[in-house]
Structure 1
Amino acid sequence: MNYPIWDVPFFGGGLVIAAIAILHVFVSQFAVGGGLFLPIVERKAYSENDSELLAYVKRHSKFFLLITIVWGAVTGVGIWFSIGLVNPAATSTLIHSFVWGWALEWDFFVLEIASILIYYYTWDKVDRKTHMFFGWVYFAAAWISLAIITGILSFMLTPGKWLETHKFWDGFLNPTYLPSVLVRTGVSFALAGLYAYVTLSVLPSSDFKERAVKYVSKWFLPASFLIAGAGIWYVAMIPAFPRTLTMGGAPMLTTWASLSVILSILIFVFVYFGPYKHSRSFTLPWAILLLLLGLGATTVTEFTREGARKPYVIYGYMYSNSILESQKYDLYTKGVLSTAKWVKDKQVNPAEMKAVGREIFRLECQSCHTINGYNGIKSVVAGWDSTYTDAILRNLDVLKGYMPPFMGTDAERAALVTYLTSLNPLRRTLALEFRTENALEAGRTVFDRFCFRCHTVDGYNAMRTKVAGYTYSQLDSLLQHLPELRGDMPPFPGNENERHALATWLASLNQAK
């Protein structure tokens, strides 16, 4: 709340960070594994007196240099630019808490750039031992950079004792640090193989191509086992609530986590039955497919890692909207408007409730939601009346554990309700008529609109088990008294026809099982 809000229409600031960061991670981890690949393959070429392999690694080093130094460096700067604009409070915390870590990482980054440039431009100009030395220096600097950055990134989900001490080492050597380093190291080795497939696939079919592709496959496959083992360790070390979110607690997050596993398995299978088994006939389209699968796995894995922190950006310390956990109770009495620095209205003006509500939306919601674009709030609140919206906001963190609580006064909450309900002024009736022939279809539509944000049918917080044994009449009656059944549930916001349709559909669930 101490900084202006950077408004990114349609996409939202979070998606901008994600797009840049995923592309950067996909290259920066290749920069580590590929940095080991170069001197190892060069040494293999010398020891086996293999001129074809040596010529290949020379060509591959140019590809490596262009991808890592150009793409990697540009996206790295892009990450700092975007996070500084989207979430300056969290960025400031990371800088001030780990200033010496950042300084050390930047030193090693400079060493990376210098050593890889020397490595590339001294081919055939220095003796073999000296040339390989620069390759090993590059890899060491790149891996140490990875180890430092990983300590800070893993801190954001598992800050550990830092929450009490605010000491560097308590935050850096956090509970998920070691498994995170091992996972990222394994991924970097695997990506070295995937990128090497690209430069090998363009070679004409030959004995050299066959043995080189098979060698790269043997490089890739063991890395997969390191990723799997360290990944299981990582999941075991994260807090219980984030683990629950990825295993059914948040449907979208569960989907991303599942896709991460599925795509990783697909890559392993495709590598085994593709380049490993058919090395000679391995082609560029196949290599591009593997690279795209790798990018897909990286994307959903990073989305899962970021999403697991919800409702925080720094777990247990700072919410995703930059409000500190320690500020929460003060805001209930003082209000968010009087505390925020970059707002037009410092208090709620009853004559300008919609405008004030828009201001509060920017402060508390816009870090995750746009209006009409990515994660758009307009479609979320479609059909919500003021009573239902107010009940949701009162119990936001209870009903949706991956969201921060609403932090503000009653008047500020009322202003936000006014703004949210104004987004869809013409309420669309979902089930205009209650007829036997359309009741089930209409009931499912009503469920998707009003209930699916907190309930699934058979998964997390499943409705099928909750309504087992209830008749239509009982369910129709219960829907009229939801807040009395459980205080954090909002009243049913639909009309009578919609309630009848929903009761009919709920009663049918256990008949259909």
Structure 2
Amino acid sequence: MDMIGLYPTWFEPGVGSGWIVGIIATVHVLFSHTSVGAAIFFAFLVNLSHRHQKPQWLDFVRRYGLFLLVFSYVLGSITGPGIWYSTTVASPRGISALIHSFVWMWATEWVFFVIEVVGVYMLVYLVGKIDVKTHTRVSIIFGLTSYTTMLVIVGILSFMMWPGQPEAWTAQGGVLNAFYGPNMFAQLAMRTAFMFTMTAVVGGIVAARLDDPDVRRDMTRKLAWLGIASTLAGAAMFQWYLGTLPETAEVILENRLPERFPAVLLSVLLGTLAYFVLTLVQPRALVASGAAVMTVAILVFGLWPEEVARESIRKPWVAGQYVYSNQVIGRDVPGIGVRSEIPTLETHGFLKAHVFTPPNLRAVTDANRVEAGRFLALATCANCHSLSTTGMRPLGNYFGLDPNEPGAITEMAHYLQAAVSAGNTLYMPLIPLNDAEAQALATYIATLKGWRPDTARVQTAAAPAAPHAKE
């Protein structure tokens, strides 16, 4: 019999592994995007200061660069490996799909990242120590290499939504078919705008502490203009991005995201614009604490909801629209020699086909039904749902039945088969549970909702005499 080699994955019982990954990734995005935007901004300022004979502006570049060495490069270098570690244990097949598709892209990104790190040190510590022409070249190289790292990463992130050229990639494979597509360019444009917004906001922390009042005013206004332009551009690029999403993403946007999501993003947009307009009109209004509060506000109320939404709308897939979020290969990809595992699951069942199923759970019995259901929940549901009352999409909250009512567990099993076994839910993986597995999973979900086995047996026994009982 063919076996499905699903790796054991990391399970965080409190909030779910997905939220842990999301928290680390969101903080990393703040650091990384700020550093890339600042690199481009530094190249602009260095050239402008040399052209207009304004060497005092380089003091801002030096101070901002020193700030970034801790804010972005040290903390970013910690959260970056944190993303690798957490995603590898939470979604090993998803990471495997990305590595096998983009191994040389990753290598390219790492080379440019090394150049970027060396570049920021050179830009900061060689101010006034090398000639103007060389310093200008260093700033340009630093800016371009920083942006190249983001270009590579965005192409890989867009593949996680869907391949750049879906039909060509499915039939032929190829890194370019996987990498370049409408979603990649739209996402790159949206993130480019955001990186300049964050550069302007975080730069305010440094600009507010400059000693020279004239330089402080000049930098405050330049940051304000940068922030206004990038915020407005980001809103436009977000609309472009929405137009490049697959059908499943559109359904999730319309039906699954909180109703407050558009209002929150609009509020952040207007608040950010108001902040930059204020500092443009009244540069003295810029204070370091205010810029720091604005940075945290954008992180919590803007970046976090956006990253959560981006992760949500690519469901049921985690990579290339062939690896499901629960690690099962859900689609044939002839171009890379991948075959769907759904037929094997339909033929043998999940418990028998999963290579890591404990021997005592390969067949569902009365004695192991709850434990078999828990194993199924961990293998098929836990990547997107928490198995508690808190955290990410608690699994028990999706069933309104009282599990202690007669026939409730059977109804839950029927719902599971209708929702996931037949593939009728567009944003959930196809999970072909047989009758015994559906009953086991429903029984375990019932325990999450307070099911009491002894009481349930009594009620079931009395069910024929109860006029409201359901067979």
Per the normalisation by structure 2, the TM-score is 0.85
Q: Distance in 2 between matches of 1:251 and 1:297?
A: 15
- Please give the secondary structure, in 2, of the residue aligned with 1:156: helix
| 2:9 counterpart letter in structure 1 | I
| 2:373 equivalent in structure 1 | 357
Aligned residue identity for 2:40: L
- The structure with higher relative contact order (CA 8 Å, sep 6+) is 2
- Of the three residues 249, 255, 259, the one matched with 1:249 is 255
Q: Which moved more, 1:178-187 or 1:276-285?
A: 276-285
- Name 2:223's counterpart in structure 1: 216
3-state secondary structure, aligned to 2:318: strand
Give secondary structure in 1 for the equivalent of 2:314: coil
Alpha-carbon distance between aligned partners in 1 of 2:217 and 2:429, rounded to the nearest angstrom = 55
Q: Indicate which of 360, 383, 392 corresponds to 2:415.
A: 392
Alignment partners' CA distance in 2, 1:205 and 1:126? 24
Q: 2:343 aligns with which of 302, 317, 329?
A: 329
Q: 1:264 aligns with which of 265, 269, 273?
A: 269
Contact 2:39 2:143 in 1 (8 A): yes
Contact kept? 2:46, 2:139, Cα under 8 Å? no
In 2, Cα distance between equivalents of 1:166 and 1:347: 38
Give yes or no for contact 2:344–2:353 (8 Å, CA) kept in 1: no
- How much identity, in percent, do the aligned residues show? 26
Aligned to 2:355: 341
- The answer as to 2:101 corresponding to 1:78 is no
- The residue aligned with 2:8 is 4
Matches within 5 A, 1:55-70: 55-70=59-74
Residue aligning to 1:311: 316
* Structure 1 stretch displaced more, 187-196 or 50-59: 50-59
Report how many aligned residue pairs link the two structures. Answer: 426
Q: Is 1:189 the equivalent of 2:196?
A: yes
Letter in 2 for 1:396: A
Q: When the two structures are superposed, what TM-score results if normalisation uses the length of structure 1?
A: 0.78
Q: Matched residues in 2 for 1:84 and 1:381: separation?
A: 31
Q: Deviations over 1:18-53 (max 9, x none)?
A: 011001111111111100111322233333333442
Is 1:97 matched with 2:101? Answer: yes
Give the alignment partner of residue 404 of structure 1, picking from 429, 436, 450. Answer: 429
In the aligned structure 1, how far is the partner of 2:349 from the partner of 2:50?
70
Deviations 1:96-118 (A, max 9, x none): 01111111111111111122222
Q: Could you say which residue in structure 2 is the equivalent of 1:151?
A: 155
Q: CA deviation at 1:213?
A: 0.8
Residues 52 and 121 from structure 1, CA distance in 2 versus in 1: closer, same or farther, beyond 3 angstroms?
closer
Q: 1:232 aligns with which of 234, 239, 246?
A: 239
Letter in 2 for 1:11: V
The amino acid across from 1:182 in the alignment is: A
Q: Which amino acid aligns with 1:263?
A: V
Match of 1:298 among 273, 282, 303: 303
Structure 1 Cα separation of the partners of residues 198 and 207 of structure 2: 14
Contact 2:225 2:276 (C-alpha < 8 Å) held by counterparts:
no
Q: CA RMSD in A?
A: 2.2
AA partner of residue 357 (structure 2): V
- The residue type paired with residue 409 of structure 1 is N
